[in-house]
Each structure stands twice: as C-alpha cells, then as structure tokens.
Amino acid sequence: MPKPACDCCNIRKVKCHGDYPCARCVDNGLTCTFLRRRRKSGPRNIRPGSMLRIWMEQTESARLAMEDPHSIEPSMPGPVPVLHRIPLTLLSIALRTYGEKLYGIWPLLNAENLIHQLEDDPNNPEIYALATALAGATLSNLNEVIVHESLLEPLVAESFITESKRVRSTFDYMESITLNTTLTSYFLHIFYGRQPSRTRTAIFYIREAITFAQLFGMHIEDTYSRYLIKDQQVMRKLYFLLFMTERYLCINDGLPTVLESISLPITEDEEIPEAVSGFLSLVTLFSTPGTDFFSKWTPHSSNVSINRERLLLIQYALQRPLENPDCSNDIQKVDIVVSQHWMRALAWKLSIQLGYVMLNSKREMNITYPLEIAQDVLGEVFKFSPEAFEVHGPGMEVKMYEIANVLADSIQCKPEEQSSLLVGPRETLQSLAGILFSFQVSNPDLRHKLSAKLDVILGGSMLPRGIDVAEEVNESEYDMNGFSPSSFLPVLDEFPIIP
C-alpha cells in the first residue's frame, strides 16, 4: 500500500514518496508535515503562492492541533524548522515601499542592500527576521497590504510579524546581541504600537530594544570607533529613535527614561542627506526640554524639581523655527511641526500644574498662551495631506489631542470676553477638533474626554463635523477621502496677534 503524501506535496499536487522528511520538502526548504488529507498530483514547479498557502495552512493546522491534541496520532513526527516561508519576491515589495515612503521617519536601512543580503545569504535567520519585522512595520504604518498574482488573498502586516517572531525563536538572539537584533526589536515595537489592544506588547519590545542598545554599548561614545562608518551612522540613528520613543512613552505612559543624549549622527556620506537633516530636527526637539522635564511626567515626579525660569527657557527654545529641509517629505515635516507645538503645550501644562501660570502673567506663563500654540500649529498643518498625518498613527492623535486639550483647559479657566475678533479661542478649538476627529480612531478614550469638554465649551450646534464618531468608535464611518485640514482652518490673516 503506498505511503500517504505529505502536506506540502499535497498542496503542490506533486508526487511524494511518503518519507519523513520527504525529498521534495528537503530540496525546497519546506516543513514536512502530515496534517491534511491526500490530494491528487499536479504541477511540479513550486510557486510563491504555493509557498504562502503551505505556510498558512500549516500554521492553522498546527494551531488547531495544539487546541485538540487528539487530532494527531502520538507517533506522528513533528515539523522540521525551515527559514524562508515568505518568498523574497513578496518581501521585496514591502521593503521597497519602506525605502520609498518611510525612510524619512526611520532612516536606518537601505532597502536594496537588505534585499541583496537576503539573496546572498538566504539561510541567515537574523537578516530574515529583521527584514520581515521591517516589512510588517511598514505595511502597518501605511495601512497597506501586499497584492500579487501568486496570492489568493492579500498578504497583511501581521503575517510578516508572525514570520519574524517565528524565525527569531529558532536562534538565541538574546545572548549574541547584534545591531540587527536590536533593529528587529524596534520594528516589532513599531508594529504593535499601531495595535490599540497591544500597548504592553509594544512597550515590551521598545524596552527590549533599549536594553539591547545599552548592552551593545550604543550609549557609550567609545563603542562607535570599533565599527565601520556606515554601521556607526545606523547605530546613532537607531539610538536616537529609541531615545525619542522612550521620551514619548514617558509623557504618554509615565515610564521613566534611561537613555541620555550622545553625539548626533552626521549627514555626510548619507544617501538622502535631507531626510537625515529632518530627522535631526526632530531629535533636537526631543533633546531640548532635558531629562528633568520628562521625569516630571512619571509617578516619581515629586522627587524632581523644575523651576519657573527653567520652564520659560524651555518655552523660548521650543518657539525657535526649526530647519525643515525642502526636499524632505510631508510625512517627516508634519511629525516635526506637530511635535514642536505638542511640547510647547506640555510645557504650558506643566507650568500650570506647578502653579506658575497666572491671569496677568506675560505670554508663556499666561492662561491664554495655548491659543497662540494652537494658532501656530493650525497655520502650518493645513498644507499637509491626510496621509501624512495617518502614517504616524496613535502618536499623532495623542499630540494633536494634547494641543486641543490645553486650549480647552485655557478657555475653561478664563471665559472668553466679548470681542470683535472673528477668530477667537472657541473658533480655533473648533478648527483643531475638526482635524483631530477626522483622523482614524486609535484612542477612543481621548475622543471621549475631548468631546465632553467641547460639548461644554462649544455647545452641540458648534461641534465640528465628525465629532460624534467618538461615541460610536466605528472606523468604517470615516470618510477620509474628503478630509483636508484646510477645510477646518479659519482665514489665517484674521487670527488675533498675541502680544
């Protein structure tokens, strides 16, 4: 009686001798399993689509088998590990998308060089885990999928992330720490940071990346001289991405910071120097307030002292125009602009919490200062497309929310006096809320909090279009095609001048 064909040969419809592992699986680097029913033979040339079907069906069969241990005979041999399950043809599409659209915000890797590494060293699990993590982070941030003629259905970001974690589990990446393993942890953080229900997972991976960076010695200047110039540049840029992410999480989640600033990367010998120049502008923003400023947002803030003069200096520094390279893309520019005014809003919020803000104080310490911040951000964001905002995901929503929130607090602290001005605090708040509520919902709680304040300040008749979606939290109701920040922006010439 002939032996049953293995799953891979069944799916490919080719002859199988029934050995374990069978010769065809060994030759093609596939996991040989016997979890599905036998199928008749067919084409003998393995296709990328077949590789994906094999992987997806084996993953699902293995999951079901673990849930029902009686579904597989005890004598059935276990699967043999294999490296590539997503063909390079499909992986390359996602990597090139990163190079074209997202290099400006993660200026770390040359997509073509990474593809060549995968071609030259296909059995390197470290490179493959990095590439699939980067691919997953890219698709997730852009809300895109891979569509290809070889696929029966689109390949989503989570498929790449699952693959990265699977391959990572095949080697001890924690003991032999490298630049690539640190990069992989960072991109896994990026992916999970886009998933509202996976906040702790995202924090775990950024903490893992930070720990790897420290064990690697990236916080020590002497470390860099041991590496090639191109590796030094990647290390410094990665370090500052971790540095900025950690400071954002300190504000948003109250997590303490551990990374201190080091020497900045340089733009010399960079393939896209304008992208790195924009990146350095963002690094400057996150470095400006200093460690004490961020420590005030943690549970141990009472142990940190920051006086009125220090906060004034921070405000003065954050008001300075930042260099936005003309050739850097809108995705990078909008991040710089919104981050700058977000930090100004945070500095004012901290000032009022510490009792430094007064009704009759001048400018930065005045109760009305959030109006100037809000008008400044509105004056700059109208030129950016909705896609430029959406790429930044929950972080952009949080920053725009904070700017609108401090303005709402300012209005509630000092009721608006009668004025002949056409554009006052309430109209400015309405414009900000219009932009914010046109974003894809990432954090419903923020929407609810702001909605409650807007209902008190503006009243139901003045609520901007789309604001009620916070109650439903239904992303399908958003009509992003018609969104333009300028549609919510009052005439800039009519803004009142703040003395």
In a shared domain, residues 44 and 118: no
Q: Which of 198, 216, 234 is the last residue of a domain?
A: 216
**Backbone angles phi and psi of 146, in degrees to 5:** -95, 120
pLDDT of residue 491: 30
- Average pLDDT for 479-489: 38
In a shared domain, residues 345 and 452: yes
Average pLDDT of the residues of the chain: 82
Please identify which residue in the block is written with the tokens 């080091």: 262
pLDDT of residue 147: 92
Geometric angle at alpha carbon 173, from 167 and 176, rounded to 5°:
145
In a shared domain, residues 17 and 155: no
Give, for 330, the enclosing helix (H) or strand (E).
helix 330-353
- How far is residue 307 CA from its own chain's centroid? 33
In a shared domain, residues 100 and 67: no
- Angle (deg, nearest 10), helices 308-319 and 330-353: 160
- The terminus-to-terminus CA distance of the chain in angstroms comes to 93
The DSSP call for residue 95 is: H
pLDDT of residue 33: 81
Contact 184, 195 (CB under 8 A): no
The DSSP call for residue 267 is: -
Q: Which residue has the higher pLDDT, 278 or 286?
A: 286
On whether residue 241 sits in a domain, the answer given is: no
- Whole-Å CA distances, 108 to 157, 276, 316, 402, 479: 20, 10, 31, 29, 34
In a shared domain, residues 38 and 128: no
**Residues 6 or more apart in contact with residue 68 via CB below 8 angstroms:** none
pLDDT of residue 68: 53
How would residue 424 be classed by pLDDT, with cut points 50, 70 and 90?
confident
How would residue 476 be classed by pLDDT, with cut points 50, 70 and 90?
very low
Q: Which of 158, 189, 216 is the last residue of a domain?
A: 216
pLDDT of residue 28: 82
On whether residue 449 sits in a domain, the answer given is: yes
Contact 296, 343 (CB under 8 A): no
- How far is residue 186 CA from its own chain's centroid? 10
Contact 75, 301 (CB under 8 A): no
Q: pLDDT digits over 127-172, tens only?
A: 999 999 999 999 999 999 999 888 888 999 999 999 999 999 999 9
On whether residue 427 sits in a domain, the answer given is: yes
Q: Which of 149, 184, 216 is the last residue of a domain?
A: 216
- State how far the Cα of 177 lies from the Cα of 215, in Å rounded to an integer: 8
In a shared domain, residues 65 and 177: no
How would residue 469 be classed by pLDDT, with cut points 50, 70 and 90?
very low
pLDDT of residue 419: 52
In a shared domain, residues 367 and 419: yes
How would residue 324 be classed by pLDDT, with cut points 50, 70 and 90?
low
Boundaries of domain holding 174: 88-216
The DSSP call for residue 5 is: P
To the nearest 10°, report the CA torsion of 21, 25, 29, 30.
Answer: -90
What region, left, alpha or beta, does residue 125 occupy, with left being phi > 0 and alpha being psi -120 to 50 degrees?
Answer: alpha
On whether residue 366 sits in a domain, the answer given is: yes
pLDDT of residue 4: 81
In a shared domain, residues 60 and 104: no
How would residue 475 be classed by pLDDT, with cut points 50, 70 and 90?
very low
- Average pLDDT for 400-411: 94
- State how far the Cα of 55 lies from the Cα of 61, in Å rounded to an integer: 10
On whether residue 251 sits in a domain, the answer given is: no
| Cis upstream peptide for 43 (omega within 30°) | no
Q: Report helix, strand or coil for 358.
A: strand
- How far is residue 440 CA from its own chain's centroid? 14
Q: Which residue has the higher pLDDT, 324 or 405?
A: 405
Ranking 198-212, 392-406, 421-435, 479-493 by mean pLDDT, the lowest is 479-493
**Which residues are paired to 146 by β-bridges?**
155
- pLDDT above 70 (res 101): yes
**Backbone angles phi and psi of 437, in degrees to 5:** -80, 0
In a shared domain, residues 66 and 150: no
On whether residue 300 sits in a domain, the answer given is: no
Contact 344, 285 (CB under 8 A): no
- Average pLDDT for 372-383: 92
How would residue 335 be classed by pLDDT, with cut points 50, 70 and 90?
very high
pLDDT more than 90, % of the chain: 48
Q: pLDDT digits over 26-76, tens only?
A: 888 787 887 765 444 455 455 655 666 666 665 555 555 445 544 444 333
Q: pLDDT digits over 340-358, tens only?
A: 999 999 999 999 999 999 8
pLDDT more than 70, % of the chain: 78
In a shared domain, residues 34 and 169: no
pLDDT of residue 5: 85
Q: pLDDT digits over 149-161, tens only?
A: 888 889 999 999 9
- pLDDT above 60 (res 400): yes
pLDDT of residue 270: 82
Find the length of the chain. Answer: 499
- Average pLDDT for 99-106: 92
State the CB neighbour count (10 A cutoff) for residue 379.
Answer: 13
Domain count, the chain: 3
In a shared domain, residues 66 and 109: no
On whether residue 96 sits in a domain, the answer given is: yes
Ranking 71-75, 186-190, 207-211, 376-380 by mean pLDDT, the lowest is 71-75
In a shared domain, residues 99 and 161: yes
On whether residue 1 sits in a domain, the answer given is: no
